[in-house]
Structure 1
Amino acid sequence: MPTILSYLFRRLVILLISILIAAAVLFLLLRLLPGDPANALVSVGADPEQIEAARRQVGSDLPLSEQFFRFVSSLTRFDLGTSFISHAPVLPEIGKRLAVTVPLTLMAFLLALAIALPLGIIAAVKSNRWYGSLISVVSQFGIAVPVFWIGILLVTVFAVNLRLFPSGGFPPRGWQRPEAAFDALVLPVITIAIVMSASLIRYVRSATQDVLGSDYLRTARALGASFTEALIRHGIRNASVPVISVLGIELASTLLGAVVVERVFSLPGLGSMLLLGIEQRDYPNVQGVLFVSTLLVLLVGFLADLAQRLIDPRLRDRSGGAAR
């Protein structure tokens, strides 16, 4: 237990340092972009006095080091600034958008797992059968198809022709009407899950094939275990270790890539907020969305790393040995 706690403490310290580094990189990259954030507050043809007043208002007249100190100080107070356009705090607005993006991502992730895990295992175990090869071929096709094309196809079939689900949008009352909110997310969830599962099937198939050729699986068979029993008791657990890393990457990339799907289905999520902020040159909104997205990606990586060590005792022993 002390070893696990020491490892968890070290990982938390690394996570906090990573968040600080990510905030610094984000701050610098946004300041390197051409133009001044104050330009969003003034109209075309504004005189120098108006521009200078706007710069003082947003703090862009201060030295870069002081701007960064203010930025980090605001983050410690969970303050992401105020929108230039709506004059509303950014963090509550991001919270509203996350109520769309997070359920969309998690439901798509779970559906993709439900599809990819059994199909990937079947593709590995039955690789010499026609249906095992068919699963591999279809997964390759799913990777090549653009996600927006799948979304448009689903809208055409299930929304326009069959009229089973809405073609886009999200109910104004959100999750206060769970049935309407769920219906609005069905097609976007399926769209993301198809693309994600196609990629995951490859990794599950590869990890399972590595396990099928392992010595410990052959030993379990020699000791009298059936193929299915040996695969479930020994193979799947070991195959899941590399797959978890891929799952973390896929989940993080889905969070970042939801902007395309949200655009296709007109969902008021985090991605649409980012695009709107860029179009309107709403600097605090863009900065806030990018920081929260980066934070979520780091948290996903942190949780995936912990899950790997909970599943594989060898990783726990290795980290414990490093700690000692």
Structure 2
Amino acid sequence: MLKYLARRCALFALALFVVSVVVFLALRVLPGDLATIMAGLNSPPERVAALRAELGLDRPLVAQYGAWIAGLAHGDFGTTMLTGQPVASVVGARAQITFPLIVLGLLIALVLGVPLGCASVMAKSARARGLYQAVAIVGGAVPALWAGLVLILLFGRGTGLLPILPASGFPQDGWSSPGRAFAALVLPAVTVGVIVGASIMRYTRSALQSVASTGAIEMAMACGMTRRRALTHVGLRLAMPQLVSVVGLTFAEMITGVMVIENLFALPGIGSGLVDDLTHRDLIAVQSELFMLAAFFLVIGLLVDLTHRALDPRLGQDDE
């Protein structure tokens, strides 16, 4: 296990280095001068030259990259041009909205997807199995924008038929008012949860069917279990490594996947904030934000691999 952990951490460090180079160069290969893009195409040459000197863009690329990496190593992700605040504090404030939204949406997806996936496998009639399959297909095909608008028209304050929940915005004092903050995330989380829940349902059904094809369910039934109990106790336990991998990667993908939802419900989260920074040409802040997101994806991937290996001891046999 230690050998695998060391190898995996080395690959993680290498991937992080490659990502940093790609993110750094991606903004340097844009057509035109980076300082001109950030200052505006109609800015006077003096303003462009001052901005280039202020951001260090007049130095060689290697020196720029080294200075950026040195700052990252000390926790300095730069400052935003719009407000002058540190990028880390801005992203931290946005994360207080995005991560609770993702966690709540993922919980709703698991509550919907896992039981429905199990039920679709346990269904005895072809009609019931077809109905579950149709639910999974329709749920996954629903556009997030359309689903959010429907929920706003049904439950949003001011416009809904049953106006019980906020339709947009987030409290100015954030989680200092936990009730209001939680209420502001309910409709966006349900929108995300229904769509992601359909995917979880399909993965759960596929994982259980894969386990059933190995004969483990029949063996459990031969020991006295009913088919339902064998599927829920034995099948789910054996399918857990696959489901953990799917849930972990889904969690990472939802960081940018909720971008449409955040814009629809006017939530100042990471996704909508990244779009705003791109709109205002704050490219140095975008550079650090993209690196932070990529690093988060890599961390989640590392944790998923380690968890998968811990849940399935058979994978450790490869190192022996």
TM-score bracket relative to the smaller structure: over 0.9
**Pairing 1:56-205 to 2, within 5 Å after superposition:** 56-126=53-123, 128-159=125-156, 160-161=159-160, 162-205=162-205
What letter matches 2:64 in structure 1? Q
Label 1:30 to 1:128 Cα distance change in 2 as closer, same or farther (>3 A). farther
Identity %: 36
Q: Distance in 2 between matches of 1:10 and 1:269?
A: 35
Label 1:44 to 1:308 Cα distance change in 2 as closer, same or farther (>3 A). closer
Gaps of 5+ in 1: none
What letter matches 1:165 in structure 2? L
- In the TM superposition, residue 205 of structure 1 has moved relative to its aligned partner by 0.7
1:7 aligns with 2:11: no
**Pairing 1:211-250 to 2, within 5 Å after superposition:** 211-250=211-250
Q: Deviations over 1:87-128 (max 9, x none)?
A: 111110110000000111111111101111110011112163
What letter matches 2:4 in structure 1? Y
Aligned residue in 1 for 2:26: 29
Q: Distance in 2 between matches of 1:294 and 1:262?
A: 20
SS in 2 for 1:214: coil
Out of 204-213 and 223-232, give the one that drifted further.
Answer: 223-232
What letter matches 1:272 in structure 2? S
SS in 2 for 1:87: coil
What letter matches 2:31 in structure 1? P
Label 1:116 to 1:43 Cα distance change in 2 as closer, same or farther (>3 A). closer
Given that residues 203 and 243 in structure 2 are in contact (C-alpha distance below 8 angstroms), is that contact kept between their aligned partners in structure 1? Answer: yes
Q: Distance in 2 between matches of 1:100 and 1:173?
A: 12
Q: Distance in 1 between matches of 2:23 and 2:43?
A: 29
Q: Distance in 2 between matches of 1:266 and 1:47?
A: 35
- In the TM superposition, residue 216 of structure 1 has moved relative to its aligned partner by 2.9
**CA-atom RMSD, angstroms?**
1.8
Aligned residue in 2 for 1:19: 16
Aligned length: 317
Label 1:44 to 1:116 Cα distance change in 2 as closer, same or farther (>3 A). closer
1:267 aligns with 2:267: yes
Given that residues 309 and 315 in structure 1 are in contact (C-alpha distance below 8 angstroms), is that contact kept between their aligned partners in structure 2? Answer: yes
- In the TM superposition, residue 22 of structure 1 has moved relative to its aligned partner by 1.1
For normalisation by structure 1, the TM-score amounts to 0.92
Out of 241-250 and 145-154, give the one that drifted further.
Answer: 241-250
What letter matches 2:179 in structure 1? E
For normalisation by structure 2, the TM-score amounts to 0.93
| Regions of 4+ moved over 6 Å | none
1:53 aligns with 2:50: yes
Out of 34-43 and 297-306, give the one that drifted further.
Answer: 34-43
Q: Deviations over 1:57-85 (max 9, x none)?
A: 11111111111111211111111111112
Given that residues 273 and 285 in structure 1 are in contact (C-alpha distance below 8 angstroms), is that contact kept between their aligned partners in structure 2? Answer: no
What letter matches 1:247 in structure 2? V
Given that residues 112 and 197 in structure 1 are in contact (C-alpha distance below 8 angstroms), is that contact kept between their aligned partners in structure 2? Answer: yes
- In the TM superposition, residue 261 of structure 1 has moved relative to its aligned partner by 0.5
Q: Distance in 1 between matches of 2:138 and 2:100?
A: 27
Label 1:208 to 1:187 Cα distance change in 2 as closer, same or farther (>3 A). same
